[in-house]
Amino acid sequence: MAVETLNDASFSELLKEGGPIAVKFYADWCGSCKLFSPKFRRMSEDEAFSGVRFVEINAEENAESRRLAGVDNLPFIAVFHQGSLVQGIATSKEEKVIEMINQIAQ
């Protein structure tokens, strides 16, 4: 599944669906965010995570989404399930992100 780019409104709608969601918060100026993008895209295509929606949100342009996830640095990865934040952390370590996604992948 491809990584979807969302904004505050579309993310709010997605949360209402209640399914497992992995979110990458980024900024256009963030070099680490750009370097992490191919890894996040590969994760989205992994069969083990086929039930998880992978999305990215520009943290600078979407204050409400940023607040919901508790973004404090970039890149910031957050996982949501049943409309609620399960975990969020500023990281670009693939192993840590996989561990987080495994928490919500059923």
Nearest to 24 by CA among 44, 9, 1: 44
Number of domains, the chain: 1
**CATH number of the domain bearing residue 86:** 3.40.30.10
63-103 pLDDT, tens digit per residue, is 999 999 999 999 999 999 999 999 999 999 999 999 999 99
Distance CA 53, CA 1 (A): 8
| Residue 52: partners with Cβ closer than 8 Å, 6 or more residues away | 19, 20, 21, 22, 44, 101, 104, 105
What pTM was computed for the model?
0.96
> Measured in whole angstroms, how far is the alpha carbon of residue 34 from the centre of its chain?
14
Distance CA 85, CA 67 (A): 11
What residue numbers bound the domain in which 20 lies?
4-104
